[in-house]
């Protein structure tokens, strides 16, 4: 079973003993009772995104195995599985272990499994009943895995990773894929369960065309493996897709007629809370290619922080640092409230400009006149909601994340498992 923090739980331990960033345990109003900075997920857009992407996969006759590395939040894994996800994708064995311990039993490691200590964790998961798939892309690693799992008396399902020149991992040539499949078939301890790819490393002119071609290559390769009898399982897996080009992958899988004989699996991760930056841009691309998809995803993750100093005209220092929020791009001030104020009366952040970030501080250039005594002037203690990009690098800053409703009341507090 997946364990989540119950509503009562946060109030039972003395606030100063838990050793975490976190809430003031007696309160539930984000604008009054929660120690800030704090990471916050809004329930309404979260629920929308969960349903939206599951529906997207269903309409393309693909399974969904959301990339769990994004959030490493078991409560979100539970929500994803309850919404219909086929499994959870992860990037490391300790991540797989954490997800499995919280109830996710079908795990897709979209990465090579390297190192005997990590193999030992994989063996534990298999022995405990986990369904685990890992990727391979070379003979050396296949030999290492075969030796370890054969010796352990286990069979590890592997997916061959299909890569591109100048990309990341993965076999560059189709002939390498076939040769590696033969190598896997010839060795004990392994079974070939399908193909894996990641289109996020496909670059060049006309990326959409290149990504379509890459997805079609995956489809063609898995058909060839099938024809040559090199696949060791029923309904072998064909999987790709990050959070930017999943529509192209889904279309190619759908149009490749995989249904029935193969298991097409999509693996977006960021969709669950979406984004205020690079993936918002990417989503605009998806919607421009696919006007039938309507609206799309909604950003659900924000970090709330307070103005801590107004040391000179035009400058606000906010208690929000690189320790608190992803910094692939400067965080985006979204809205401001008075501490203890009402969600119905937001204050402006028009013209606010993040000029610098340090470990624990954000510098904001204020528009002229906004700190000079008007009713909506900026005050020390004002609470500012920030959007970030991308979400992976905000989640990993936090051990606890607050789920809030539309009135910014805390519904639940979720633990992360990085």
Q: Is 185 in the site for a copy of itself (CB under 8 A)?
A: no
Q: Is 35 in the site for a copy of itself (CB under 8 A)?
A: yes
Of the residues 48, 84, 152, 172, which one makes contact with a copy of itself according to CB under 8 A: 172
CA dihedral 307→310→315→321, nearest 10 degrees, is -40
- Name residues whose C-beta falls within 8 Å of residue 30's C-beta, 6 or more positions apart in sequence: 38, 40, 304, 383, 402, 404, 408, 409, 410
Q: Is 23 in the site for a copy of itself (CB under 8 A)?
A: yes
Q: Is 11 in the site for a copy of itself (CB under 8 A)?
A: no
Of the residues 53, 88, 169, 410, which one makes contact with a copy of itself according to CB under 8 A: 169
Of the residues 8, 165, 234, 288, which one makes contact with a copy of itself according to CB under 8 A: 165
Distance of alpha carbon 238 from the chain centroid: 20
Q: Is 204 in the site for a copy of itself (CB under 8 A)?
A: no
Q: Is 154 in the site for a copy of itself (CB under 8 A)?
A: no
| Whole-number Å distance between alpha carbons of 214 and 167 | 12
Cβ proximity to a copy of itself, 62 vs 181, nearer residue: 181
CB 46, min distance to a copy of itself, A: 21
Contacts (CB under 8 A) with a copy of itself, residues 358-387? 358-361, 363, 379-381
H/E stretch holding 353 reads strand 353-357
For the chain, how far is it from start to end, CA to CA, in angstroms?
A: 19
Contacts (CB under 8 A) with a copy of itself, residues 54-73? 69
| Whole-number Å distance between alpha carbons of 131 and 364 | 48
| Whole-number Å distance between alpha carbons of 95 and 82 | 20
Contacts (CB under 8 A) with a copy of itself, residues 87-146? 91-94, 97-98, 100-102, 111-112, 114-118, 120-121, 124-125, 128, 137-138, 140-141, 144
CB 412, min distance to a copy of itself, A: 18
Q: Is 336 in the site for a copy of itself (CB under 8 A)?
A: no
| Whole-number Å distance between alpha carbons of 368 and 352 | 10
- Quick note: the x/- pattern for a copy of itself over 246-275, rule CB under 8 A, is ------------------------------
Largest CA distance in the chain: 77
| Whole-number Å distance between alpha carbons of 331 and 333 | 7
């Amino acid at each position: 079973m997946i364990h989540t923090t119950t509503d009562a739980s946060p109030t039972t331990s003395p606030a100063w003993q838990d050793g975490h960033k976190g809430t003031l345990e007696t309160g539930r109003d984000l604008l009054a009772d929660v120690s800030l900075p704090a990471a916050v997920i809004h329930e309404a857009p979260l629920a929308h995104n969960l349903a939206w992407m599951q529906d997207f996969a269903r309409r393309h006759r693909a399974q969904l195995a959301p990339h769990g590395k994004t959030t490493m939040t078991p409560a979100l894994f539970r929500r994803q599985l309850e919404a219909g996800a086929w499994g959870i994708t992860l990037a490391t064995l300790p991540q797989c272990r954490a997800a499995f311990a919280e109830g996710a039993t079908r795990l897709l490691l979209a990465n090579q499994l390297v190192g005997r200590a990590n193999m030992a964790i994989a063996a534990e998961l298999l022995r405990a009943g986990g369904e685990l798939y890992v990727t391979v892309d070379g003979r050396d690693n296949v030999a290492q895995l075969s030796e370890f799992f054969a010796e352990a008396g286990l069979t590890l399902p592997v997916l061959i990773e299909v890569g591109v020149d100048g990309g990341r991992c993965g076999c560059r040539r189709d002939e390498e894929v076939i040769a590696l499949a033969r190598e896997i078939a010839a060795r004990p301890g392994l079974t070939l369960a399908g193909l894996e790819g990641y289109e996020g490393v496909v670059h060049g002119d006309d990326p959409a065309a290149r990504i379509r071609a890459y997805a079609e290559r995956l489809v063609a390769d898995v058909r060839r493996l099938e024809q040559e009898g090199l696949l060791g399982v029923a309904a072998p897996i064909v999987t790709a897709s990050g959070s930017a080009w999943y529509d192209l992958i889904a279309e190619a899988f759908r149009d490749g007629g995989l249904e029935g004989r193969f298991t097409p699996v999509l693996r977006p991760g960021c969709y669950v809370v979406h984004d205020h930056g690079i993936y918002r841009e990417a989503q605009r691309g998806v919607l421009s290619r696919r006007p039938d998809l309507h609206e799309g995803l909604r950003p659900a993750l924000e970090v709330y922080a307070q103005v801590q100093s107004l040391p000179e005209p035009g400058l606000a220092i906010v208690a929000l640092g690189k320790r608190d929020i992803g910094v692939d791009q400067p965080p985006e001030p979204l809205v401001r409230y008075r501490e203890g104020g009402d969600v119905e009366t937001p204050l402006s952040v028009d013209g606010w400009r993040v000029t610098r970030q340090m470990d624990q501080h954000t510098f904001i250039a204020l528009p002229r006149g906004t700190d000079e005594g008007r009713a909506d002037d900026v005050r020390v203690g004002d609470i500012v909601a920030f959007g970030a990009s991308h979400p992976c690098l905000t989640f990993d800053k936090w051990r606890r994340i607050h789920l809030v409703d539309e009135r910014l009341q805390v519904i639940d507090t979720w633990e992360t498992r990085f």
